[in-house]
């Protein structure tokens, strides 16, 4: 299908406005009564030697991850089935916690990384697709103190905030 010069100018203006090909297809149909398939619009744009502008995508994290970091996942950490409960939480030392975030999240997770607790024990942490925070201790039976868990969650929130989560 061929367009007259006025219609071609409209298409050029729409491209410069940043409209997508499907939006141009809809505008041609509604404003000029020209019915074209998506592929025909692509060919038209190519024939006019135009290049659609790429829209910049927002770099906002998934909503599940935002809510998990803001505290909704605080309770499940101590309830993780991978970490058995012990009675010596009150006797565990408190101190600095080291948290790192993996560059590429482990499969099936929104985010993952490693943590070293104040007593020197290490664990892997993850946020699953439901926003639940979990720990997988390197040493079987290890359970961090409640103070370490609280410090870990605060440090994790800080680290994820640095990355834009």
Global pTM value: 0.43
57 pLDDT band (50/70/90 cuts)? low
- Write b or e for each residue in 15-50: b if 16 or more Cβ atoms lie within 10 A of its Cβ, otherwise e: beeebebeebbeebeeeeebebeeeebeebbeeeeb
Total number of domains constituting the chain: 2
Q: For the residues 57-82, what does the mean pLDDT come to? A: 50
Residues 80 and 123 in one domain: yes
Residues 69 and 40 in one domain: no
Residues 113 and 148 in one domain: yes
Domain, as residue range, for 128? 63-162
Residues 93 and 147 in one domain: yes
Eight-class DSSP state of 91: G
Q: What's the pLDDT tens digit per position in 118-145? A: 888 899 999 888 888 888 888 888 888 8
Residues 84 and 145 in one domain: yes
Q: For the residues 100-105, what does the mean pLDDT come to? A: 90
Residues 91 and 156 in one domain: yes
């Amino acid at each position: 299908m061929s367009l007259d010069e006025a219609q071609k100018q409209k298409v050029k203006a729409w491209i410069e406005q940043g409209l997508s090909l499907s939006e141009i297809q809809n505008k041609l149909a509604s404003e000029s009564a020209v019915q074209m398939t998506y592929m025909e619009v692509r060919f038209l744009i190519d024939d006019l030697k135009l290049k659609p502008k790429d829209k910049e995508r927002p770099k906002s994290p998934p909503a599940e991850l935002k809510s998990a970091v803001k505290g909704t996942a605080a309770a499940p950490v101590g309830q993780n089935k991978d970490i058995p409960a012990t009675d010596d939480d009150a006797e565990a030392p408190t101190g600095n916690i080291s948290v790192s975030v993996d560059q590429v999240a482990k499969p099936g997770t929104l985010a993952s990384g490693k943590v070293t607790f104040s007593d020197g024990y290490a664990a892997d942490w993850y946020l699953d697709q439901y926003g639940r925070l979990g720990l997988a201790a390197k040493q079987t039976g290890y359970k961090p103190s409640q103070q370490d868990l609280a410090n870990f969650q605060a440090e994790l929130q800080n680290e994820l905030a640095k990355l834009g989560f």
